[in-house]
Amino acid sequence: MSNHFHLLLRPTGDATISRIMQSLLVSHTQRHHRHYKSGGHVWQGRFKSPVIQHDEHLLAVLRYIEANPLRAKIVTRADDYPWSSYRMHGLGEADELVDSLITYDELSPLVKVRRRKWAEKVHRPMEDAKLDAIRRSSATGLPYGDATWVKRLAKRLELDLVIRPRGRPRKAEQRSGDYSPNK
């Protein structure tokens, strides 16, 4: 994408998403400035890192990411976009930077079927409700998964699941104690 990117990361060991993103963005910014002999910000805003339930929700997010260039009409086929994991998941091309989310035996006859079905799925438009839910999670950083899982995770991590408007509440709302995110 020309103005943003999506990463589906699973930190291991002591790594955190914040540290991974800091390292990635600082390195990229330095290379960008060296190449273009420039300075200042390259990226705007803070990244969002919602937790994703490790089931069909994770596959839905992967599908959302790999179909993004199609929705943006940058390409007509997902395999035409060079900056995507689709070529690995949909075509089976090796990529040392991408670790597959799906473990499978390369010798299995089911691998070709799985890739063909994945290709069909990525090229089929996603349901509006699923698109909206993924976008809401991405925009807010709130967990993405089924309602029971999200509530259980929020309780365990003491997360507030209320989406509030950006900025501080108006002074009148603060004084009256009548602040509501739906106003």
Q: What residues does each domain of the chain span?
A: 1-47, 51-183
Express the helix, strand and coil content of the chain in percent, nearest 5 each.
50, 0, 50
pLDDT score recorded for residue 72: 95
pLDDT digits (tens, 9 = 90+) for 76-102: 999 999 999 999 889 888 877 776 555
- Which tokens in the block code for residue 1? 């994408």
Spatial contact of 162 and 168, defined as CB atoms under 8 Å apart:
no
Mean pLDDT lowest among 91-95, 130-134, 153-157: 91-95
Mean pLDDT lowest among 6-15, 51-60, 149-158, 164-173: 164-173
pLDDT score recorded for residue 163: 80
Q: What is the pTM of this model?
A: 0.81
With 60 as the cut, is the pLDDT of residue 182 above it?
no
How far apart (Å, rounded) are the C-alpha atoms in residues 54 and 75?
29
Spatial contact of 88 and 101, defined as CB atoms under 8 Å apart:
no
pLDDT digits (tens, 9 = 90+) for 26-65: 999 999 999 999 998 888 777 889 999 999 999 999 999 9
